[in-house]
Structure 1
Amino acid sequence: MAALTSGEVCIKYLLFVFNFVIWLAGTGVLAVGLWLRFDSRTEGLFQVEGSPTAFFTGVYILIVAGALMMVVGFLGCCGAIRESPCMLGLFFIFLLVLFAAEVAAGIYGLSNKDTIVDELKTFYKETYQNYQTTKQEALKEALRAIQYSLQCCGTTGTAFDIAQDTCPKKEGSQLLITTSCPAAIDDLFNSKLHIIGGVGIGIGVIMIFGMIFSMLLCCAIKRTREIV
């Protein structure tokens, strides 16, 4: 039985580190999804009749994506460190499926960008209007999360919107320069689309290298176990 070469050993530990990072990232994504689903400030959104469904879908996507990332990271880590061709093969298959899903999502997103932007703006407006009517704490937290992340305020960006308790706090001249959230959503997908695309391409390239390394290591392990 032959031993792995120094280059193959290097690939082995690189693959282990790569997948450990994926596992940690998956743990974080799953934790955020579960927190949004079961936190007392947001779980009310899942119980309010007529609440926008986009938030629910996003939360469940986070939970599923986090769980898949943890499974992929676990298979890659164990397959590399234990030199298991079976686990490495499963890791390759999972990564290939995720890569295909990312490509499909990217194509769908580019071809339906205007529809997605309109749906997001509609979701925000419905959440905003529902909160103005009901003052529910769950809706308030959802609005604060959106408005603080996009640094926007309300549906018009007027003085009335700025006075709302869900908006980012501003002082002085900043009060005169306030972006409405529908406009901020437009800006995110139009002026910053290249950044989103760059991140997606970067993730795709990392996945490709992960698949290549897993196959190289799998073939090397099988070679070392052949009787010579």
Structure 2
Amino acid sequence: MGLPGSMTCIKYLMFIFNLLFWLAGTGVFAVGLWLRFDPKTKNLFEGDSSPYVFYTGVYILIAAGALMMVVGFFGCCGAIQESPCMLGLFFFFLLLIFAVEVAAGIWGFSNQSNVVHDITQFYRQTYNDYKDTKQDALKETLRLIQQGLNCCGPSSSLEDSQVLEDTCPKKEGLDVLITKSCPDAIDEVFNSKLHIIGGIGIGIGVIMIFGMVFSMMLCCAIRKTREIV
């Protein structure tokens, strides 16, 4: 006896969702490996003065990507093969990720000022080290930060912008006169845009809850169908 029509629909929706989840995890995992082993950034992992925030973030990316791939695999196989065991593992890993996300959110909100301070210090240290050593790895790190935040230098003065001319975003016309410093940009991301980050986190959490509910519904329907047979 096959699954009811509604459960069959949920089965294929779960398969598509987990396929996209697996692809997203593959992308995150690939980005983490690229940052870890790319010649322009791998030197940041060597030596006693390696930036803690950067390599910690890279390893978190690698671990998160690998976990997303595992979860997506169990979800896809569990749905398409109608395997209660794999669906149970999918539920467990999704619950684990959800718990970690909630814990990380609580920690982030309660330690917001410390996070902003640590990231700002990391940027200033990278900036000063690049001025002294001119290492390509430090240059690439600065370029990624400044391009991503659309900022330039540790202050908004023109002198700092000239020092980092090769890493700062290229601007034309009057935009050159209103360059934002990177400490101000970091502070803006974690303050004025914090509600956006929180909203994204809540949205992901809701999707995870639906994924867990659907996996349990599908698992129960499969067990019930097999008991009837």
State if a TM-score over 0.5 links the two structures.
yes
SS at match of 1:174: helix
Tell whether the 8 Å contact from 1:4 to 1:224 is kept in structure 2 after alignment: yes
Taking the aligned partners of 1:51 and 1:31, their CA distance within structure 2 comes to: 22
Q: Which is further off, 210-219 or 161-170?
A: 161-170
Unpaired segments ≥5 residues, structure 2? none
AA of the residue aligned to 1:41: K
Shift of 1:162: 1.7
User: Does the alignment pair 1:197 with 2:224?
Assistant: no
Taking the aligned partners of 1:48 and 1:139, their CA distance within structure 2 comes to: 13
Alignment correspondent of 1:181? 182
Alignment correspondent of 1:151? 150
Taking the aligned partners of 1:157 and 1:51, their CA distance within structure 2 comes to: 27
Alignment correspondent of 1:86? 85
Unpaired segments ≥5 residues, structure 1? none
Report Cα offsets for 1:72-119 as digits up to 9, x if no partner. 000000000000000000000000000000000000000110000000
Shift of 1:227: 3.7
Shift of 1:161: 2.0
Taking the aligned partners of 2:6 and 2:160, their CA distance within structure 1 comes to: 60
User: Does the alignment pair 1:4 with 2:3?
Assistant: yes
Alignment correspondent of 1:71? 70
CA RMSD of aligned residues (A): 0.8
Taking the aligned partners of 1:69 and 1:166, their CA distance within structure 2 comes to: 33
Alignment correspondent of 2:120? 121
TM-score by length of 2: 0.97
- Length, aligned pairs only: 227
Shift of 1:69: 0.1
TM-score by length of 1: 0.98
Taking the aligned partners of 1:199 and 1:162, their CA distance within structure 2 comes to: 33
Structure 1 outlier segments of 4+, above 6 Å: none
